[in-house]
Amino acid sequence: MASITPTSPNTIRSTHRPTLKPLVVPERLLLGPGPSNADPQVIAAMDQQPIGHFDPDYLVMMDEVQELLRYAWQTDNALTYAIAGTGSAAMEATLANAIEPGDRVLVAVKGYFGHRLVAMAERYGGAVQTIHKPWGEAFTLAELTAALDTYQPAVLAIVHAETSTGVRQPLEGLGAACRAHGCLLIVDTVTSLGGLPIFLDDWQVDLAYSCSQKGLSCAPGISPFTMSPRAVEKLERRSHPVANWYLDATLLRQYWGPPRVYHHTAPVNLTYALREALRLLAEEGLAARWQRHQKNAEYLWAGLADLGLTCHVSEALRLPTLTTVRVPDGVDAKAVIRKLLADYNLEIGGGLGDLAGKVWRIGLMGYNSQPQNVDTLIKALGEVLRAVA
Amino acid sequence: MASITPTSPNTIRSTHRPTLKPLVVPERLLLGPGPSNADPQVIAAMDQQPIGHFDPDYLVMMDEVQELLRYAWQTDNALTYAIAGTGSAAMEATLANAIEPGDRVLVAVKGYFGHRLVAMAERYGGAVQTIHKPWGEAFTLAELTAALDTYQPAVLAIVHAETSTGVRQPLEGLGAACRAHGCLLIVDTVTSLGGLPIFLDDWQVDLAYSCSQKGLSCAPGISPFTMSPRAVEKLERRSHPVANWYLDATLLRQYWGPPRVYHHTAPVNLTYALREALRLLAEEGLAARWQRHQKNAEYLWAGLADLGLTCHVSEALRLPTLTTVRVPDGVDAKAVIRKLLADYNLEIGGGLGDLAGKVWRIGLMGYNSQPQNVDTLIKALGEVLRAVA
């Protein structure tokens, strides 16, 4: 019991006062579904004191982030900014801002994050309908168009790069079909932004979100978000306020642009990091970035085949950022993951949901998409598989 | 126009591809309402690669953060963790988890953040009633108890340390009154945690939240949150799911403790920072920390008096973390703020809402509560006031 200040009759308890040493963080090579290792220049950018969230230098940085995000997504959307939360917050932001209570919402589910979209959409009062594909496949445009005809939704939500399955969902033609049906199109680009081709405006996508810690090579905790003029028009016509204050685009856009109204205290150091990550992306260029990811993924797939392992997804639909590999019969998937982490400081992911125990998930994202990381992984995985066999 | 990848018929546009230099952040002394400068050891802790959000080392760190938060707040609450967002997200988390649609909610408003509680509570379907005090005063226990009698609310929300006014709201006895009325008590400790006495359990507070970048001397973007067993009991009895997925405590507690179910990708580097900030708080000890803040605030108040300036709040209710100073007649409040930033790299805040243009807000929080910062500020402010006079 320590002594107390004169203003208080209470005594300070030391019940929950552990004596801890300064933080020691292990060095890991993160080749799972994310977070990935950040670019060292991005980490260095965070290593500075915060400045104020209305500092003139900070406002410039906000503008830069917005412009660089437009490049990364290939969009002219004025309403493009970063959410002060992780990718799931940005996911929720698209639904909160697009859905009014009673709106018909169609979710195309082909993995874990499709189910998450359903769970969130229901909380915003959407009348949610779903269509499904097995985990490891994508929808055809015909299937999606037929579902638009059947359900006549106000909003369609679909995942571009399913982090749970490693599948790339082709999106060409879907935006046009949505417009023909008077429907807004929400696309999850969490595992695609900065890693594979995205043309948000050409594809006529209305709302999109992503994360920072995958293709963008930034630390996690800040998340890209964008809305098309068409989606903004619906936002401005709403008869109910957006049900989520923190993610309300009608408020946030007044901070990210004129009149610069206070909303929240920005995650300043993460903005430093995201600005640097996006600057490095613009420096490398999208074409080079996407080609690098594709090339290193193909190198990984060849290495996995040499180990006698099978990819879960057909090559045409396989993500360059994230590969699902089938766990061979008789192998304990979790034991392999634990041994890679404990003996090699190397993280890969296990399966989620329908694929739990059946696949490993191997990420080559952003800064980590390098041939020497493939070499390290293939060597370690081969050794561990021989050890557990 | 760059060449495109074979999988896409689209062309990459460089419309939004600015050529930027690496980030340069100005060095500021942040003596406004927040963010404050972080402890250099906290910034150094962020300067490491992320690890996975299920890494065994990360799970240990999560447990440490929870335990250290219990110490900081003087609570035994099992459900105590950090929200992956800024203080406003944690504010919204308390309302989202405490309010069911139709619940009577009473908000005691005596500044900007009281109004924010109202705006948020309404979005969660609360039947919101308010009581008001002028900006610069606090409620008496008798006033609050009378309002409980009148409105019979299910939830009462009140700000402990109003960042817009610099007022400390005495809370002794309020928790007992709430229990007698079958009401949950939500307390905003954004500008008090780590800076002045808080005894959450002695005061019988049910839900509380804070931020990282003030009394805790951490970077912004991650925010303390806690619920008492009584609040958890109401949570478990809910007939509607929590209307906010990202902030839903029924999901988050399954990640912050067993069964360790995936919810979101944690803001790993900010967790490093918060863990270090809280470790440093435990090392200094609450009694020493609170006394340091009080002593340096009194030193500031004396210096302001020497400049002929008047504090807006009576000394008994004045926060040690944040002081509101009246702008002398004829002085342009914003011009002084701009000049301090431009010529001295020193940030102080302006007034919000009812106090816009009428006060400056000067923070001495966490690491920044040091006598030499008071000396720097008083010298600079004196020079600027003479220059603009």
pLDDT in tens, B137-156: 999 999 999 999 999 999 99
Confidence of residue A6 (pLDDT cuts 50, 70, 90): very low
Q: pTM for this one?
A: 0.97
Confidence of residue B33 (pLDDT cuts 50, 70, 90): very high
**Least confident stretch, A7-16, B276-285, B295-304:** A7-16
Q: What is the pLDDT of residue A9?
A: 72
Percent pLDDT > 90 in chain A is 97
This model of the complex carries an ipTM of 0.97
The closest CB to that of B243, out of A56, A243, A268, belongs to: A243
- How does pLDDT run across A181-201, given as a tens digit for each residue? 999 999 999 999 999 999 999
Compare all CA atoms of chain A with the CA of B29 and give the residue at the minimum distance.
A51
Contact A10 B290 (CB under 8 A): no
Question: In DSSP terms, which residues pair with A207 in a beta bridge?
Answer: A186, A227
- How does pLDDT run across A205-264, given as a tens digit for each residue? 999 999 999 999 999 999 999 999 999 999 999 999 999 999 999 999 999 999 999 999
Q: Which residue has the tokens 């957006």?
A: A242
Q: Which residue has the tokens 């696949």?
A: A359
Contact B51 A28 (CB under 8 A): yes
- How does pLDDT run across A267-311, given as a tens digit for each residue? 999 999 999 999 999 999 999 999 999 999 999 999 999 999 999
Q: How far apart are CA B313 and CA B322, in angstroms?
A: 11
The closest CB to that of A220, out of B23, B263, B267, belongs to: B267
Q: What is the pLDDT of residue B62?
A: 98
Is the pLDDT at B1 greater than 80? The verdict is: no
- How does pLDDT run across B181-203, given as a tens digit for each residue? 999 999 999 999 999 999 999 99
Size of interface A-B (CB pairs under 8 A): 320
CA distances A31 to A62, A213, A336, Å, are 30, 12, 14
The average pLDDT across B161-174 equals 98
Confidence of residue B8 (pLDDT cuts 50, 70, 90): low
Contact A265 B199 (CB under 8 A): no
Q: What is the pLDDT of residue B278?
A: 98
* Mean pLDDT across chain A: 96
Confidence of residue B223 (pLDDT cuts 50, 70, 90): very high
- How does pLDDT run across A33-69, given as a tens digit for each residue? 999 999 999 999 999 999 999 999 999 999 999 999 9
- How does pLDDT run across A64-101, given as a tens digit for each residue? 999 999 999 999 999 999 999 999 999 999 999 999 99
The closest CB to that of B197, out of A8, A74, A241, belongs to: A8
- How does pLDDT run across B353-368, given as a tens digit for each residue? 999 999 999 999 999 9
Question: In DSSP terms, which residues pair with B29 in a beta bridge?
Answer: B346
Compute the half-sphere exposure of residue A120: CA atoms within 13 Å on the CB side of its CA.
26
Q: What is the pLDDT of residue B9?
A: 72
Q: B51: which chain A residues are within 8 Å (Cβ-Cβ)?
A: 25-26, 28, 30, 35, 347
The closest CB to that of B287, out of A4, A283, A294, belongs to: A4
What domains can be seen in chain A, in order of their start residue? 29-36+285-388 (3.90.1150.10), 40-282 (3.40.640.10)
* Mean pLDDT across chain B: 96
